[in-house]
Structure formats: C-alpha cells, structure tokens
Chain A
Amino acid sequence: MTAATLTAMSPRRLALHRMLRHGSFWFGGGAILLILLVALVGPLFTLDPVAQNLGARLIPPVWDVRGSWTHPLGTDQLGRDLLARLVDGARVSMFIGVATVLVSGLIGTAMGMAAGYFGGRVDLVINFLITIRLTLPVVLVALVVVAVVGSSLTVLVVVIGLLLWDRFAVVTRSATQRLAYSDFVIAARAIGSSTPRILLVEILPNIVGPLIVVATVEVAHAVLLEAALSFLGLGVKPPLASWGLMVAESKNQLLFRPWLIAIPGVALVTLVLAINLLGDALRDVVAPEGRA
C-alpha cells in the first residue's frame, strides 16, 4: 500500500484496515468467539454437568485406551462428565469476565472522567481513592469479603468489579485530561452545553478507543481472579463448575491423573491468552504510536 492510499482513508477505515491485517486479532478474536459459542450452545449437546455417577468415576479421556465416547474427556472423582463441566465452566468464566467489567468499567470511567475533566480537588480526591485501592491486596480482600458475605455469582461480580476499576480510572483520567482543553470541548462549553452533555457526548466517544483496550485487559484479569478465588475454595460454589474450581477439586490427582488438571487448565490459559492477544491487537490499532 502506498502513502497516498493511506492518507486517502478515513481514520476509522485506517484502523479497521490495520486490525484486519493483525494476526493476533484473528487468533484472539477467533478463539474468544469459539469459547463464547461453546458457552452459549454447548449445554444443548453435553451431558448434565452436575449428575454424579459413582460407578463411572475417574474415566480417562477418549484418547486413552480405557476411555470411551460416552465421556469424551472422561469423568472426575464424582463421576461427573468432564466435557459438560468444562462447558459449564466456560459459561461462568465468560459471565464473570463480562459482568465484572461492566461494573468496574462504569465505576472507573466515571471516576477517571471526573478527575480528568474537573481537575483540582476532585482530581486530588480521586487520585487518593486510586492509591487506596492499589494498597489493598486484591486476592486477600476478595477472599475476606466472599468468606464474610457468602459466595454467589452476584457477590463475585460485585466484589471483583469493586476491586478492578483502578486501571479504568487511570486511563480515562489521562485521556480526558488531554481532551478537556481541546477546541471542540471549549466550543461546546462556549455554546452553553451542560457539563453532563460535554462529558457524555463530546468526551466519552473520543476516549472509547483506550477504554476498549483497558476493558479487554480487565476481562482477562477478572477471569483469572475468579479462577484463583475458586481455586482457593472461596469463589464459585460446587456443584456449579468453574475452571479454577475444577483444578482445585483435582489437585490431589496430579500424580496419577494429570489430565484432570490439564484439561480445565488449558481451557483457562487459552481463554486468557486469546483475550490478551485481542487486547494487544486493539492497542496497536487504537494507539499505534505507543507500540512497544
């Protein structure tokens, strides 16, 4: 492509163009779509993920000589179908990831925009809140809250959401600061637009790029945190499946049946890696000048 065609393209088309040529975008986005599809329609095809069958415990996956197609990935120590639980776990991970980021994104963006736009004391207070948030050890605080309040998906979403807003705030703050004195914002103020209107109509659409990048990273962060909490026994409660919980339940099988850990483990790594790759691709498109 020549420089002439590049300049002839609108910024949006240019971004799209760059995106479609990005390997990470296709790999990451493809894997996420696949997992999302599995999470949505998978349960229609799999066995009951919570049905126990003590007569069929610890069957190995189908590639083992003792495996069978009834349980393609084998069964766990309670005789539950591993594939069904894996699909169920995909639903939990996806739900936690997306729902949490809605909560943390809303909090972080509101705080970051306020700090960046108003500056002064508001900025000082919000920076202080960010510092406090960073001082709290995330895993520990989440564990305490879940232990005290009790565990449910809602509690997990709220707790993780309340803990992971800091990066949203930091990024939107500096993005808003850059825009607060730009010509179009000054113009909007001059024609008498209200502050909420300036924030929502003028500034917000212009910081969507970095916002999406942070959101992607934070989905991965939330998925990992849920897995860690479930692994520690204070996340998703059985019989609901979660990949972290599946690893924890099979921890003592590491010696003889490592696949029980490897299967949910690979699923988890694939999902997080895919999200991170998508995030990298988005960052290259949104802020190509900052490419490391």
Chain B
Amino acid sequence: MLRFLARRLLVTLLVIACTSVLAFSLVHLSGDPAAAMAGEGASPADVESIRRLYGFDQPIHTQYFAWLGKILSGEFGRSFYLRQPVVSVLAEHAPVTAKLGLSALAFALLLSIPLGILAGLYRDTVIDRFALGLAVAGQALPSFLFALLLVYIFGVQLRWLPISGSATWLHFVLPSVTLGYYAAPALMRLTRSGMIDVMQSDHVRTARAYGLPAWRVVLLHALRSAIIPVVSLAAVQLGFMLGGSIVVETVFSLKGLGLLAWQSIQRSDIEVIQSILLVIALIYALLTLLADLLNALIDPRIRIS
C-alpha cells in the first residue's frame, strides 16, 4: 500500500506540474498578452509599458519559472482589473463554488442512490426503465437549457425560489439541482450494477436465509459493499462539477470561481485566469487521487498491478 501511495503521489505531482505549464501557456497562445490587456485603441507606448511591467518581454520559459516560483511561495499575482491580489479575489469567490459543488453532489447522491438501488433490485421492470430513461434524457439536456427551464418553472411561473445571486441557501437550490443532475446518471448506473452484483453474493444470501427483514438486507448488508465504488466516483464527479460550474454560475449569477473565470476571460485578466485554471486542476487531481486510494483500499488487486 505504501508503495502504491508513493507512486500515485508522484504521478499526481507530475500531472500538476504539467497542468501548470498548460495553464500558463494557454494565455500566451496569441503571442502578445500585453495588447489584449491594454485593450483596443491603446497607444503603443501603453502596450510597451504593460509588457515591461508584467515581464512579457522576457523569454517565455523565464516568465514561466518566475510565475511558478511566485505561485510556490503563495504569491498568485494581482488582478489588473480588480486591482486586488489574486489570492484575496479567489478567497472571496471560492466559498460560493464550494457550497455549490457540495450541495450539487448532495443532490446527485440523493437522487441517484435510491434510484440506483430500486433499479438494481427491480431489474428490467418499469422502475428500472424509468431510471435509465431519466439518465438518457438528462444527458441530452444541455445544462444552460435545464437551468433556464428551472428558472422559468420555479422562478417565473411558480415564484417559489430565487433565480439570481447567492444571498441565502435558497439561492443555491436551483443551481445545485442543475449541476447535480449531470453527475446523477453515472452514479445511478454504478449503484444499480453494484446492487445487481451484490444481491447475488454469498453474504447477502446468508443474511436473507437468516430471515432478516428485506430492508435490513438491502440497506445494511447489500448497500454497504455496493456503495464504496460510488463514493470514489462521487469524488471524481465533484471535480468535474467544479469545472462545469462555469455555465451554472453564469446563468444564476452566483459569484463563484466559474463566474469569476468567465468575467476574467472577458476582461483578459490573465493572472486570475491562470490561477483559476491551476486551482481547479489541482482540486481535480487531488480528488482523483482520493478516489484512487479509496479504490485501492477496497480492492487489493489495484495496489499490486
């Protein structure tokens, strides 16, 4: 296990190092970020002074290592649009995205696990078909459209829920449903197939033979072993949701990292964009590592190979 852990940590570090190169170089694809930052109609002298100020006149690898050095010492640079250190901008926006991601995950699990259990227990029945149909329909509905649909039904027609901002927890209901719905199908399918497998296993058969009530067999004996892979997939899905939050946050005007990223892209606020890319990739890498460790813990075969 220790060797497995060491190897996975090393790979994660390498992945993060490579993503940092990508996060850095993406912004430099156009060749001259200074012109983009100065905006249209800026004088050549202005562009030149921005270029000097941000060190864009240096060779690209010098810039990268200077940037990396700063990041490693906790210095993420300054947002040239907001005129604040990037760290404080991120700290201001991150809690909203964290709240959104976690509540979306909670919604996804609440929807997918009961459905998955039922679909697995009543395989090839109406319930199973319904669950799979919901999954297929869900994957075909773009998130921005689903968000607008929810806004129309619950915000405009029924007036039950707020549709914009992040003031109360009620503001998070519609965004979490939108975001969580996309994670649900995969989790549901995994719960379903896990239940189908485990219901045929020896320990469940024994539990049934003892004459335990059906709910005890399902919830205490079967679900316990079916749920662990679902938990590790949930960690990965949480990472995907952080990346996908950009659409949802834009529609619902939630002031999280996604909206910040979108606004910073519009403003060519380079240091903020780079930092968000890096932070999201970092969180994703760590969540994947967590999922891998969880899988290795329950399945010794993974540790050895």
Contacts and interface: CB of A to CB of B under 8 A. Distances in A.
B228 interface: no
B243 to A, nearest CB: 3
B145 A141 contact: no
A131 B273 CA distance: 21
A292 B194 CA distance: 11
A228 B142 CA distance: 7
Interface residues on B, range: 35 or more
Given A139-B246, A232-B246, A247-B144, A131 B30 contact: no
A128 B15 contact: yes
Contacts of A280: 136
Interface residues of A, number: 43
A29 B149 CA distance: 27
A10 B268 CA distance: 59
A244 B247 CA distance: 12
A265 B145 contact: yes
A224 interface: yes
Contact of A140 (B15, B261, B268): B261
A216 to B, nearest CB: 12
A14 interface: no
Nearest to A265: B145
A148 B11 contact: no
Contacts of A254: 148, 151-152, 156
A277 B15 CA distance: 35
Contacts of B11: 128, 131
Interface string B118-139: 0000000000000010001101
A172 interface: no
A261 interface: yes
A197 interface: no
B136 A231 contact: no
Nearest to A270: B140
Interface in A238-257: 244, 247-248, 251, 254-255
Contacts of B261: 140, 143
A276 interface: yes
B231 interface: no
A138 interface: yes
B110 interface: no
A137 B136 contact: no
B148 A251 contact: yes
A140 B277 contact: yes
Interface in A130-180: 131-132, 134-141, 143-145, 147-150
Given A135-B15, A135-B19, A277-B136, A234 B265 contact: yes
B218 interface: no
Interface stretch (B59-67, B78-86, B280-288): B280-288
Interface of B: 11, 14-16, 18-19, 22, 26-27, 29-30, 33, 36, 132, 136-137, 139-145, 148-149, 151-152, 156, 189, 192-193, 242-244, 246-247, 250, 261-262, 265-266, 268, 273, 276-277, 280-281, 284-285, 288
Given A248-B144, A280-B136, 12 more contacts: A135-B19, A137-B280, A140-B243, A143-B246, A144-B27, A148-B26, A150-B30, A220-B140, A232-B250, A265-B148, A277-B136, A292-B192
9 contacts: A132-B22, A135-B285, A139-B246, A140-B261, A140-B277, A147-B265, A147-B268, A228-B143, A269-B140
